[in-house]
Amino acid sequence: MCSGRVDPEFVFRAFANGMDGVFIGGCILNECNYITNGNYHALNMVLLCKKIMEHMGLNPERLRIEFMSSGEGMVYVDVVNDFVSRIKELGPVGKAEGISEDELSLKLAEVRKLIPYIKIVKKEKLQVRIGSKDEYPEFYSNNEIDELFSDVVSYYIDPEKCRACMLCARNCPVGAIESAKNQVHVIDQYRCIKCNTCYEVCPEKFGAVTKIIAAPVPDPIPVENRAITKKES
């Protein structure tokens, strides 16, 4: 599998499943056989994940990426052995950082839930081919990551504007919108992956979907109050 197909979800799922470290091996930079430069995408993704790990309180050394050719068997062995030794020195994930098992589980669940949102927000930057190792440490700044989590976007359907057209519900990729004929639609905030789809497909003439940044989302109206009464012309 091309290293460019390694998704941040794979990394944080591994930690959620109890892995103490994640190693990614890719082809040598600028030597892609398929001209996709997936190894550059993987490198960029790893740098982002490392900064997110720091934000969570996890040691970023638990994630490592190395580039080598298929003919460098001994290099691969040496690199993997070195990584395994380092992970053993660090100890169990979370516990070694002073994070309880329950707290780590909650943090990882929150990050995994936000991965689709993070990939949308950082889409352009994730496509940048980083040329120099000198750029690696601060390509993603700590302040940038802090803002990423503090300024999280949420979506809310205004019950006064919703006309139950069903477009948002039909297009939601995770089925996070509760909908019924002639009833105000409601976004399940727990299931919502903040992909922006509902906001994009809501007809402009209704403008029912509101984007909320770094603020609480209003409570959904009770089911018994969701019936829509057609306005008289």
Examine the domain organization and report whether 74 and 9 are in the same domain: yes
Residues 139 and 218 in one domain: no
Tens of pLDDT, residue by residue over 32-88, are: 877 788 999 999 999 999 999 999 999 999 999 999 988 888 999 999 999 999 999
Three-state SS string across 126-145, please? HCCCCCCHHHCCCCCCHHHH
What is the per-residue pLDDT across 80-122, written as a single tens digit (0 to 9) for each?
A: 999 999 999 999 999 999 999 999 999 999 999 899 899 999 9
Statement to judge: residues 124 and 186 lie in one domain: no
Cα separation of 79 and 56, whole Å?
26
Query: Does 19 reside within a domain?
Result: yes
Question: Do 130 and 188 share a structural domain?
Answer: no
pLDDT of residue 231: 59
Q: Please report whether residue 53 resides in a domain.
A: yes
Domain annotation covers residue 232: no
Confidence of residue 233 (pLDDT cuts 50, 70, 90): very low
- Residue 11 belongs to a domain: yes
Can you point out the beta strands (E) in 177-220? 177-180, 183-187, 209-213
- Predicted TM-score (pTM) of the model is 0.85
Compute the mean pLDDT over every residue in the chain, rounded to the nearest whole number. 94
| Domain carrying residue 76 | 3-150
Q: How far is CA 144 from CA 51, 113, 134, in A?
A: 9, 19, 18
Taking CA 222 as the corner, what is the angle to CA 208 and CA 181, rounded to the nearest 5 degrees? Answer: 55
Q: Which of 150, 173, 203 is the last residue of a domain?
A: 150
Residues near 72 by beta carbon (within 8 Å), at least 6 away in sequence: none
Domain end among 86, 117, 150: 150
The residue that leads in pLDDT, 70 or 201, is 201
Structurally, how many domains does the chain consist of?
2
d(C-alpha 5, C-alpha 2), whole Å: 6
Instruction: Assign residue 185 the CATH number of its domain.
Output: 3.30.70.20
